[in-house]
């Protein structure tokens, strides 16, 4: 009888060890996969994009930076090609100008507004923005991104009434 118990005990220990070894092998594979993913991300160099190089260099910023599958886009404002505010006093047109610039940046990266995962809007006139915010339905055809709408005292130039920044994820 003791021999049977010893054999059963030995068998249960072997089964336990087999499960432990298999579990460790699975965890090691998961660790290796995660390490490989992190290595790929860490080895990616940022790709900078300037929409209006002279303007952006003069003010000291890049309009977009892509790292891996993520693109961060600086706040777009209603500028002409010389970096002067456009559509003064017309929030609706300034918003359209912002989205037109953002669309150019997205196209540079072979993206659309459907790839946008975060949108932050800064405005100096929240009540007026709320009146014209319906325009965004023409921009976002599938889903709206996450984000915030913030009323601010002022933007970089007194004529500017809106600034829109984006974060994009492109698998």
User: Domain residue spans in the chain?
Assistant: 1-43, 47-169
Residue 90's nearest CA partner among 40, 128, 39 is 128
User: What is the rounded CA–CA span in Å between residue 67 and residue 79?
Assistant: 26
User: What is the rounded CA–CA span in Å between residue 142 and residue 38?
Assistant: 30
The overall pTM is greater than 0.85: no
Q: Please return the burial class of 11, using the count of CB atoms within 10 Å of its CB with bins 0-12, 13-18 and 19+.
A: exposed
**pLDDT value at 4 more than 60:** no
Q: For the chain, what is the mean pLDDT? A: 88
Question: Which pair of tokens denotes residue 157?
Answer: 């130039």
| Model confidence band, residue 38 (pLDDT cutoffs 50, 70, 90) | low
pLDDT, average across residues 122-146: 97
Residue 95's nearest CA partner among 71, 73, 113, 75 is 75
Homologous superfamily of the 47-169 domain (CATH): RutC-like (3.30.1330.40)
Give the pairing type, strands 146-151 and 116-123. Answer: parallel
**pLDDT value at 87 more than 70:** yes
């Amino acid at each position: 009888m003791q021999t049977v118990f010893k054999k059963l005990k030995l068998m249960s220990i072997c089964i336990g060890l087999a499960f432990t070894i298999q579990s460790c092998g699975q965890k090691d594979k998961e660790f290796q996969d995660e390490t490989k993913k992190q290595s790929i991300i860490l080895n990616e160099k940022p790709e900078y994009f300037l929409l209006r190089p002279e303007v952006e260099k003069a003010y000291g910023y890049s309009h977009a930076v892509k790292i891996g599958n993520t693109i961060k886009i600086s706040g777009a404002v209603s500028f002409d090609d010389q970096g002067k505010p456009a559509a003064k006093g017309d929030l609706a047109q300034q918003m359209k100008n912002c989205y037109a610039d953002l669309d150019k940046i997205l196209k540079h990266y072979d993206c659309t507004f459907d790839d946008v995962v975060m949108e932050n809007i800064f405005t100096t006139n929240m009540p007026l923005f709320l009146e014209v915010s319906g325009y965004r339905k023409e921009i976002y055809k599938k889903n709206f991104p996450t984000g915030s709408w913030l009323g601010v005292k002022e933007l970089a130039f007194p004529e500017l009434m809106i600034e829109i920044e984006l974060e994009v994820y492109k698998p």
